[in-house]
Amino acid sequence: MISKSDLTTQYILETVAPIFNRNGYSATTMNDITKALGLTKGAIYGNFKNKEELAIASFKFTVKNLMKRIADHLTLSESPLQKLFLITDFYRNYYDYSKQLGGCPVLNIGVDANNQNTLLLQKVRQVIERIQDQVASIIEDGIEVGEISSEINAMQYAKRLDTLIQGAIFMTYTMDDEFYLKDTMNQIDQMIHKEMKA
């Protein structure tokens, strides 16, 4: 049984997460938040200590949903090599999906927090490291089963893939043109075929 307090917290995060993601930490005021929620500041502070705690919880909430979506997509194959292609497949359609979130949380909050909020930036860095670790694990599994070349440095390629994806997301959003994501995913597929495949 979910408590009333948990339901309120869930409602706050579902409503506020896209606002923080779209506007950034500094540009999101408590007025924006109370207006969107239809709750008093007191009701919000009953669930979150301050705006920073709410921003961090909102970021974690958005990222958790995003990671679950990617993880579900990766269950479509047991093959580590195919999982790499499933990553590019997921990001080919990421623009439409991430618009519902208010944009890409890693990119938006990462850029926004870089010079303004050390704690929030730390959370973004942890997420990036987690993503890169997971991709490196897939590559290592691929090396182990002989699908990926043993010459490959798993972490180096995980960072490279993540950099290409994040760069393509930035360009797609900045130019409002899906070409960048779709074309980069095709380039990554070529890289997997030509450089990584055993």
In a domain, 113, yes or no: yes
- pLDDT 10s digits, 15-25: 999 888 888 87
Is 62 inside any structural domain? yes
pLDDT at 137 > cutoff 90: yes
Residue 5: per-residue pLDDT: 65
Domain assignment present for residue 137? The answer is: yes
Confidence grade of residue 165 (pLDDT, cut at 50, 70, 90): very high
Q: Could you tell me which residues come within 8 angstroms of residue 102 by beta carbon, excluding any fewer than 6 positions away?
A: 17, 18, 19, 20, 21, 22, 62, 108
Percent of the chain with pLDDT over 90: 51
Domains identified in the chain, total number: 1
Contact by Cβ (8 Å): 12, 48: yes
Residue 117 structural domain: 58-196
User: Is position 179 within any domain?
Assistant: yes
> Per residue in 75-133, pLDDT tens?
999 999 999 999 999 999 999 888 888 888 888 888 877 777 678 888 889 999 999 99
For residue 13, being part of any structural domain is answered with no
Indicate whether 142 belongs to any domain. Answer: yes
pLDDT at 119: 80
Phi, psi at 8, each rounded to 5°: -65, -45
| Confidence at 197, pLDDT banded by 50, 70, 90 | very high
Question: What are the CA-CA distances from residue 24 to residues 3, 70, 113, 177 (Å)?
Answer: 30, 24, 8, 22
12 within some domain: no
Choice among 6-20, 131-145, 178-192 with the minimum mean pLDDT = 6-20
Question: Domain holding 107: CATH number?
Answer: 1.10.357.10
Supply the pLDDT for residue 2. Answer: 67
User: Residue holding tokens 């929620």?
Assistant: 37
Tell me, what's the pLDDT at 196?
92
Q: Give the model's confidence band at 32: pLDDT under 50 very low, under 70 low, under 90 confident, else very high.
A: confident
20 located within any domain: no
Q: Is the backbone of residue 176 left (phi > 0), alpha (psi -120 to 50) or beta? A: left
Give 179 or 5, the one with higher predicted confidence. 179
User: Rounded mean pLDDT of the chain?
Assistant: 89
User: What pTM did the predictor assign?
Assistant: 0.85
pLDDT tens string 34-79: 889 888 888 788 888 888 888 889 889 999 988 999 999 999 999 9
DSSP string, 134-190: HHHHHHHHHHHTTSB-TT--HHHHHHHHHHHHHHHHHHHHHHT-THHHHHHHHHHHH
